[in-house]
Amino acid sequence: MTGSPFMQQVRTELRTRQYSIRTEKNYMYWVRYFIRFNDKRHPADMGNREIERFLNHLAINRDVSAATQNQALCALIFLYRFVIRRDIQGLKYSNTRKPKRIPIVLNNEEVSAIFQHLDGKYWLIAALLYGCGLRIQEALTLRIKDIDFTSKSILIFNGKGSKDQYTLLPEKLIAPLQSQIILVRQNHQKDLDDGAGKASLPPALLRKYKGALKLYGWQFLFPSSHRCVHPYDGYICRHHLHATAFSRKLREAVIASDIPKRVTAHTFRHSFATKLLENGTDIRTVQELLGHSDLRTTEIYPHVIGNRRAGTKSPVDFIV
């Protein structure tokens, strides 16, 4: 089904509108799943009833999260709006509200313990997450040109919401980053010697900066260990390290550190924001560093601090 003319049409619409490769894979998955769930009927012959039945199946039988339900709904809305050319009206199903949860954060001792069980590029990725408040994809898609040692800043290009922003570059990470850049440059030179060495660029950037394909500044700071075929344009390139590779190393480090909390790459971002506020950083500055459009998103972190510093004693503490 993936190679069917209809699915190729879906992929073309996604790429024409410059959706990311991750969104493309997710949307293609949900469209295929929707079609198979409905006995391979063509989406043009289906409508609200079939969509509602599919989404209810995900919620009840598959017990998927609110975020997953919303992603499936967005994929189907895209399918009907841009491929079938029909807007879905009166759907008896809306975006599921995500439960509001206080984020899990790590203290300095826990972060240090995890760092002791990471090394090389994996230690540096974790240090960037905690030291700069980056999301994991933002860290993995950093390019050499994005690191400015003079102004001690890092450019986050095309981050969440397709926004560009700057964040701080910690003094402690300058030397490790410089060492990592030397390794990338050496690896890039080997690729050039093999007749390769092209950077992996999105189609829009490829058209604009085609001459920059082989410049080392456009190489990923954390390149993959293997060259691959570019998913859009078919040339041989070196993509960035996959998030699952870091997640696996992080999970091993957390287990080795004997930390009972559920720790993911995003936990470091939460810990970054909380630690800045604990140290007296203005919440507007934290908002800017995190790249939040709405201050209300950032305001979750003072609640974390408040829970810790309320100073309220439990009645059991007064028992003699």
Determine contact, residues 153/168, Cβ cutoff 8 Å.
yes
Catalytic residue among 57, 160, 214, 227: 160
Q: Which amino acid is at 301?
A: Y
The CA distance from 179 to 144, in Å, is: 12
Active site residue 135: yes
In angstroms, the CA 298 to CA 270 distance is: 10
Please confirm, yes or no, whether 41 is among the known catalytic residues: no
Q: Which of 32, 145, 214, 292 is catalytic?
A: 292
How many angstroms separate the Cα of 216 from the Cα of each of 56, 190, 223? Answer: 49, 12, 12
Task: Determine which one of 11, 121, 135, 270 is catalytic.
Answer: 135
The verdict on whether 292 is a catalytic residue reads yes
Residue whose entry in the numeric block shows the structure tokens 């799943």: 33
Which residue of the set 11, 239, 240, 269 is catalytic?
269
Element (H, E) at 203: helix 203-208
Q: Could you confirm whether 33 is annotated as catalytic?
A: no
Mark whether 86 is an active-site residue. Answer: no
**Catalytic option among 22, 242, 266, 284:** 266
Based on the residue annotation, tell me whether 240 is a catalytic residue of this protein. no
Give the CB-side neighbour count of residue 274, counting CA atoms within 13 A: 23
Separation of alpha carbons 264 and 138, rounded Å: 15
Give the residue numbers marked as catalytic.
135, 160, 266, 269, 292, 301
